[in-house]
Structure 1
Amino acid sequence: MKRRAALLTMVGACAWLAGGAAPRAEDAVTLKVGVNKVISDVVFYIAQERGFFAEQNLKVELIPFDSGPRMIAPLAAGQIDIGAGASSAGLFNAVGRGLGVKIVADKGSTAAAYDYMPLLLRKDLIDSGKVKTLADLRGLKLAAAGPGSATNAKLAVALGKGGLTYKDADNVNMSYPQQVVALSSKAIDGAITTEPSASQAVDSGVAVRFSDASLYPGQQVAILLYGAELLTKRRDVGQRFMTAYVKASRVYNDATNKGLFNGPGSQQLIDLIMKTTGLSNRKLFDTMVPNGISPDGAVNMKSLADDLKFFVEQGQIEKPVVVGDVVDMAFASNAVKQLGPYRPN
């Protein structure tokens, strides 16, 4: 009897040292997360495959959408808990209407060496000498993914640096895959597009990159969004998700060292991206520029403010709103406190 009691005491001590008993599977909290099969979604899959969500006693269901904006209404209605969106007029308007969604972390940004959303121009326009500087964009037909998107905002920056206004170009809106087709057929002269469309257009020989990260340093393009439940009643659950997300983002940063898919674990990362996006040309990753994701989850507040200013100027904002109304960085800050500072491998 004494031996049995001693054994139970030892087991209890070991559990305390390990941080408590392992959670039972039935106790795991289920979260529904919207994804749209883009490369920046890979952080969710890293957290899933590495067991980072399981560490936080979370069961995460990844729900496919065909675009980020389509997640806003289900997120506001509580049909999904977490979404992936972009800096856009639609997002600011949703917050202005009181839909109860907020930006909580970075999901895709153009940090130095990570310009995954470049300005592309048709190669024949460069080879002929018709376009040499940004000032030569005047009158060209240029595509963005908008209206009211981060791509439109970046196009405005490019035109501005050429001494032009947004109206000095013939601006059209179309999806990224459509942009590649339109560049090939010469239906457009250039586009602000993202990977992998950018590398596909360059690899096929129809376009060249006409910008680098210096065009719009650190633009906040994609963001992680929480719905009202995680922002209010279930903040503890939102914190657990964020800790797993930031941990996974650090694995991603290690693998995309200095803006290339060549860091520690890069081949496994490429495998995962190909598996989850449907990309089949592995050679593209030799030159593809990965999206930046802050290893601390931090978002670029100035970029969000600059893009909001552009949307206001274009008459696309319904009610007055400020960036502070749209962002809650407490989750990411607390995750960094738990995990410690990022140390690249």
Structure 2
Amino acid sequence: MLAGRLGKALLLTAAVAVSTAGAASAAEKIKVGALRLASHAPSFIAFERGYFADQGLDVEFEYFQAAQPMAVAIASGDVDFGITAISGGLINLAEKGAVKVIGGALSEEEGIPGQKILVSKKAYEEGVTAPSFLKGHSFGITQTGSSFHYMAHKIAEKEGIPASEIPLKPLQKVGAVIGALKSGQIDAWAIVPNIAETLVQSGEVMEIGQVADYIPGYQVTTVFTSAKIASENKDLVKRFLAAFSKGAADFNAALVDKSAGEDEAEAVLQLIHKYVSADQPFEKVAPAIRSGAMRINGDAALNLESVKDQLAWFQSEKMVSDTITIDMLVDPSFVETY
């Protein structure tokens, strides 16, 4: 009798072990596009804390240095999900039925430090001490049709400066823009606060304004995937967004709302540092990440009105077709929109 029970127990243990091993091996492999910026922290947190694994996802990161190449990678199927700014390239791919925006990520929010408008020390000394003095001065962007292009024109529009009178300098990569600004090869740029603060601290760059004063409520980055995944694998999208949202909640609680306590803030900063400026000492990087933390939308909610404004601007600049609609660009069925 005892031997029989023992045998059954051993068989049950073996079955559980096999089942667990099978579940682990069945984790769905996906690639997630990212930039090594603090604004991508929710993905890093979700990975490090097992939130993706909890959703049955085996994540591999694919790193990019600009938004448009990530959109191309999503469309080609080389990457499954991306988190980055809306670009002309992304919109054109959406019109072709290749990609869909499925949620929101980084956003400008009143009362929280947001993206900074910067100028080189040389330009500042020449009198560019406020955005109103940008006329005739160069502005760095990664590519034509990037979010930097959009910001430059929105700043010019509000200041009453013809967009053509702020020369744009496409430099392809964020690192190249940073180098050009520090050396005075370009006059101005706008970027997330943790990078901006590090540059200002170098003494070679000056802050002259905030993007939020020119684009209130700006949905800076969005979550997107291929149109095929959005339509044919909705469960995968839901699982990805659930894990990403959990990472965003940790980030916001630790560094934006500061409701999680100092120990948690320190833990989150240590985690982010593994992916952001890992070649620099933690003591140097952490203060800028902490003070420059921007809101990541809870539950990946999407500011649809901001996305509509961005689409309208790209159309006004003739970078995308007038025939593309917001429904071609966005699938609003996965998250709350406002």
Residues 138, 166 of structure 2: 8 Å contact kept: yes
SS in 2 for 1:220: coil
CA distance in 1, matches of 2:257, 2:74: 34
Partner of residue 248, structure 2: 249
CA distance in 1, matches of 2:176, 2:93: 27
Shift, 1:263, TM fit: 5.9
**Is there any run of 5+ residues in structure 2 with no aligned partner, and where?**
13-19
CA distance in 2, matches of 1:67, 1:294: 21
Residues 83, 105 of structure 2: 8 Å contact kept: yes
User: CA 1:297–1:276 in structure 2 vs 1: closer, same or farther (change >3 Å)?
Assistant: same
Residues 96, 319 of structure 1: 8 Å contact kept: no
SS in 2 for 1:272: helix
Partner of residue 109, structure 2: 111
Higher deviation after alignment, 280-289 or 83-92? 280-289
CA distance in 2, matches of 1:121, 1:134: 9
Shift, 1:318, TM fit: 3.8
1:165 aligns with 2:166: no
Partner of residue 136, structure 2: 139
Partner of residue 272, structure 2: 273
Which of the residues 294, 297, 300 maps onto 1:294? 297
Shift, 1:92, TM fit: 0.6
Partner of residue 153, structure 2: 156
User: CA 1:160–1:79 in structure 2 vs 1: closer, same or farther (change >3 Å)?
Assistant: closer
Shift, 1:44, TM fit: 1.5
Residues 86, 222 of structure 1: 8 Å contact kept: yes
Shift, 1:36, TM fit: 2.9
1:43 aligns with 2:46: no
Partner of residue 222, structure 1: 221
Shift, 1:146, TM fit: 2.8
Partner of residue 177, structure 1: 175
User: What are the within-5 Å matches in structure 2 for residues 1-345 of structure 1?
Assistant: 24-99=23-98, 101-123=99-121, 125-126=123-124, 130-174=127-171, 175-212=173-210, 213-258=212-257, 265-279=264-278, 280-282=280-282, 283-288=284-289, 289-318=292-321, 320-333=323-336
CA distance in 1, matches of 2:131, 2:65: 33
TM-score w.r.t. the length of structure 2 is 0.83
Shift, 1:275, TM fit: 0.9
Residues 256, 293 of structure 2: 8 Å contact kept: no
Shift, 1:67, TM fit: 3.3
CA distance in 2, matches of 1:263, 1:216: 32
SS in 2 for 1:309: helix
SS in 1 for 2:186: coil
Residues 137, 167 of structure 2: 8 Å contact kept: yes
User: CA 1:64–1:140 in structure 2 vs 1: closer, same or farther (change >3 Å)?
Assistant: closer
User: CA 1:22–1:106 in structure 2 vs 1: closer, same or farther (change >3 Å)?
Assistant: farther
Shift, 1:281, TM fit: 4.2
**Is there any run of 5+ residues in structure 1 with no aligned partner, and where?**
12-20, 335-345
Partner of residue 339, structure 1: none
CA RMSD of aligned residues (A): 3.2
> 1:232-286 CA distances to partner (integer Å, 9 max, x unpaired)?
2221122112111111110010112259998662222221222113341433432
Residues 101, 225 of structure 2: 8 Å contact kept: yes
> 1:152-173 CA distances to partner (integer Å, 9 max, x unpaired)?
1111121122121211222222
Shift, 1:203, TM fit: 0.9
Which structure features the higher share of helix residues?
A: 2
Shift, 1:133, TM fit: 4.1
> 1:103-127 CA distances to partner (integer Å, 9 max, x unpaired)?
1122322223445432112345546
Higher deviation after alignment, 218-227 or 172-181? 172-181
Partner of residue 17, structure 2: none
CA distance in 1, matches of 2:39, 2:55: 22
Shift, 1:325, TM fit: 1.9
CA distance in 2, matches of 1:198, 1:89: 24
CA distance in 2, matches of 1:181, 1:41: 22
Aligned residue identity for 1:286: P
Residues 261, 285 of structure 1: 8 Å contact kept: no
Residues 39, 273 of structure 1: 8 Å contact kept: yes
- The number of equivalent residue pairs is 321
SS in 2 for 1:211: strand
Partner of residue 16, structure 2: none
TM-score w.r.t. the length of structure 1 is 0.81
